[in-house]
Structure 1
Amino acid sequence: MTRSPEISAFLAASAAALRKSCTGEALRAAETVIGRFDAVGPTGGNPARLPVCDWIAPALAAVAPERAALGRAFAAVQGQLEWKRRVSARESDQRFWNGHANAMILGPGGLERRDDLWIGVTVMAPGVDYATHNHPPEEVYLSLSPGEWWNARMDWTDPGPTGCIYNPPGIAHAMRSGEGPFLALWYLPI
């Protein structure tokens, strides 16, 4: 199996950003993720877009210089992704229903189908709170635009344009956008 040049560039930019941004538990998890980059999964993907994806371009236009390479690499793959709402989203909650989307880059339904690694992305319109949730794998987030994260071990935190967020396995966590759009990448070793 061969990997597309766009995914290769995205993974290289991800590795550089993760290593520059993460420390402690987050860096250990990031190194586990990066250690799985060499394996190539079968190609997949079924491009689909939701209206909230219109916020991707404004978010990418405001990416900090320190994350510019990662922003460009993500921009090169984002049009190939299958954007979906969170499974637990309900149409009765219009702000969340219309204000968020997730896509898998590597993992189930992603551009490469993998069962050992999930790399994905979340976009949110301004003023949206993402539902509190948890999952068994640990997780590292890199922000491409401003936003805040919360988990049961920390108060609401904005990691800034070069920081990262770490969620231990199984911990309750959430995120929210502010006055602008929210765009963040997530990395989970499965």
Structure 2
Amino acid sequence: MRHDPFSDMLEALAAIYEGEADPQGPHTAHTLRVTPSPVAFDARSTCLLDTGIRSVLSSSPLQAAQAILAVQDRLPWGSNPVEDNTEANIAAMISVATLMGPEGPIPAPDVRLGLVYMRPDCYYPLHIHDADETYVILGGQALWTAGDDVQMRGSGDMVHHPSLMPHAFRTGPEGFVALWRWSGDINLHSYAFVEEAAAELPA
């Protein structure tokens, strides 16, 4: 029986969380594994950042990155769910594909999960939110600030931000693609910046 590439992608993303120490990891993995496929997404035009996303995924050694690349044309890349809380120059730095949450497309009342791409040579300033957040870098790299910890993060790295921990990212010449998950209090209205955006988008 032939596997559906979208189901294969969900399996690959779920597997990332299987070894996570956080007990919410296996719960999230289970949620992804029982999701019916195909999942219906709203019709969209091709993401303006598609070329950059494909470039980062293509250069990644991770199975999950290749699984995403196989269904890139089907993913709902678009605006950040918290775009209303951000300035235009910040919103233009990233594209987000939300896969799971209270509003769908995979219904989940207590978790938000998706993919994010951040453009090269950009700085996304310090921000906070009520949700606990876990990032997994799938391709590319960034100088990652998580509270007092500042270090380069690359493919395969997992970074956890407890509720209200300030965090920020600075990309190099490639940008990055990451898997993100919100758990706990996943409201959108608490999303707030605690630092001015100092970096301009590259010309």
Q: Which band: TM-score by shorter chain?
A: 0.7 to 0.9
Q: Does 1:33 align with 2:28?
A: yes
Q: Per the alignment, do residues 116 and 76 of structure 1 end up closer, same or farther by CA in structure 2, a change over 3 Å counting?
A: farther
Task: Specify the alignment match of 2:68 in structure 1.
Answer: 74
Offset at residue 84 of structure 1 (A): 0.7
Task: Specify the alignment match of 1:134 in structure 2.
Answer: 128
Task: Specify the alignment match of 2:59 in structure 1.
Answer: 62
Task: Specify the alignment match of 1:5 in structure 2.
Answer: 4
121-130 or 133-142: bigger deviation: 133-142
Q: Distance in 1 between matches of 2:182 and 2:71?
A: 19
Q: Per the alignment, do residues 187 and 103 of structure 1 end up closer, same or farther by CA in structure 2, a change over 3 Å counting?
A: same
Offset at residue 109 of structure 1 (A): 5.0
Secondary structure of 1:165's counterpart equals: strand
52-61 or 38-47: bigger deviation: 38-47
Task: Specify the alignment match of 2:179 in structure 1.
Answer: 185
Mark the runs of 5 or more structure 2 residues left unpaired by the alignment.
185-203
TM-score, L = length of structure 2:
0.72
Task: Specify the alignment match of 1:148 in structure 2.
Answer: 143
Structure 1 letter corresponding to 2:168: A
Q: Distance in 1 between matches of 2:161 and 2:41?
A: 27
* Structure 1 or 2: more strand by fraction: 2
Secondary structure of 1:127's counterpart equals: coil
Match for 1:122 among 116, 124, 131? 116
1:29–1:140: 8 Å Cα contact kept in structure 2?
no
Match for 1:165 among 159, 164, 169? 159
Query: After the TM superposition, which segments of 4 or more aligned residues of structure 1 sit over 4 Å from their partners?
Result: 41-44
Offset at residue 44 of structure 1 (A): 4.4
1:107–1:117: 8 Å Cα contact kept in structure 2?
yes
Q: Per the alignment, do residues 135 and 77 of structure 1 end up closer, same or farther by CA in structure 2, a change over 3 Å counting?
A: farther
**Per chain length, whose mean CA-contact separation is higher, i.e. which structure has more relative contact order (CA < 8 Å, sep 6+)?**
1
Mark the runs of 5 or more structure 1 residues left unpaired by the alignment.
none
Superposed CA offset, 1:17-47 (max 9, x none): 2345x4x4xx434223224334537954224
1:120–1:186: 8 Å Cα contact kept in structure 2?
yes
Q: Per the alignment, do residues 41 and 61 of structure 1 end up closer, same or farther by CA in structure 2, a change over 3 Å counting?
A: closer
Secondary structure of 1:122's counterpart equals: strand
2:14–2:33: 8 Å Cα contact kept in structure 1?
no
Q: Does 1:89 align with 2:86?
A: yes
State the aligned residue count. 176
Match for 2:98 among 89, 98, 104? 104
Offset at residue 108 of structure 1 (A): 4.5
Q: Per the alignment, do residues 125 and 82 of structure 1 end up closer, same or farther by CA in structure 2, a change over 3 Å counting?
A: closer
Q: Per the alignment, do residues 16 and 164 of structure 1 end up closer, same or farther by CA in structure 2, a change over 3 Å counting?
A: same
* Structure 1 or 2: more helix by fraction: 1
Offset at residue 71 of structure 1 (A): 0.9
TM-score, L = length of structure 1:
0.76
State the structure with more CA Rg: 2
Q: Distance in 1 between matches of 2:109 and 2:6?
A: 17
RMSD across aligned C-alpha pairs, in angstroms? 2.7
